[in-house]
Amino acid sequence: MSDKYVPLTGYERQTEDQMRETVEGLREELSRRRSIRMFSSDPVPRDIIENCLKVAGTAPSGANHQPWHFVAISDSEVKQKIREAAEEEEREFYGGRASEEWLDALDPLGTDDHKPFLETAPWLIAVFAQRRGGEVVGQDKKNYYVTESVGLATGMLITALHKAGLGTLTHTPAPMGFLTEICGRPKTEKPFVLMVVGYPDPNCQVPTHALIKKELSEMTTFI
């Protein structure tokens, strides 16, 4: 007999009322998520980060190749190196590389080339996308839908971190090639995002701009 398929186990069908309650709870909880830029330096235990990364690892991916690698950084010397390299890139970005239109779009967020949170936050998670790999580590097959897959895993990572009670910033210093070397990853992997993780600073403020959310009817069409 073929072992190509196994029965679906672990699926639990809910009543419609349970579904309503479940998703309303999730909507309410996730609507309270905010990207933050002011972190407390309070430590976060590694096992919590590990379990959030395991959540990310359950994401669907092209041909199930799971084309991601996460480098979780708590070492202050490594964080310092990352901050220095990121701020160097950002100085160029804000000082001329970015278009007027881009800088105008960022103006309401109030971001600049100063990135102290890269050292304050207890964890940085560098997410890498693998162009080649396979469903088992060590394989060298072509990966598919790499950006989509790593984007899905990153979304699930943010959701897990938020559910765990942690604040995050999806940080994308551009370009972020420096992460490859600092994190000791092969050149075949592309840095995808740098996730900043920790508790919000007690005096944390968030931009008003980020509170603007599209209504369901503005972002959805039912046909």
Q: Which residues bind ligand IYR (CB under 6 A)?
A: 90, 93, 106, 109, 111, 171-174
Whole-number minimum distance, CB 200 to ligand IYR, in Å? 18
Q: Which regions of the chain does DSSP assign to beta strands (E)?
A: 68-73, 123-130, 132-133, 141-142, 167-171, 189-198
- Closer by beta carbon to ligand IYR, 23 or else 174: 174
Using CB atoms within 10 A of its CB, is residue 184 exposed (0-12), middle (13-18) or buried (19+)?
A: exposed
| Residue with Cβ nearer ligand IYR (90 or 189) | 90
Q: What share of the chain is helix, strand, coil (3-state, %, to 5)?
A: 45, 15, 40
Least separation in angstroms between residue 126's CB and ligand IYR is 14
Closer residue to ligand IYR in complex, CB, 67/173: 173
State the nearest-atom distance from the C-beta of 63 to ligand IYR, in Å.
30
Helix (H) or strand (E) holding 197: strand 189-198
By beta-carbon distance, which residue lies closest to ligand IYR? Answer: 111
Nearer to ligand IYR, 164 or 204 (CB): 204
Which two tokens mark 223? 């046909």
Which H/E stretch holds residue 123? strand 123-130
Residue corresponding to tokens 């931009």? 207
Residue 126 or 133 having the CB closest to ligand IYR: 126
- Shortest CB 17 distance to ligand IYR, Å: 39
Q: How far is the CB of 174 from ligand IYR (least distance, A)?
A: 5
- The closest of 133, 142, 145, 117 to 69, measured between CA atoms, is 133
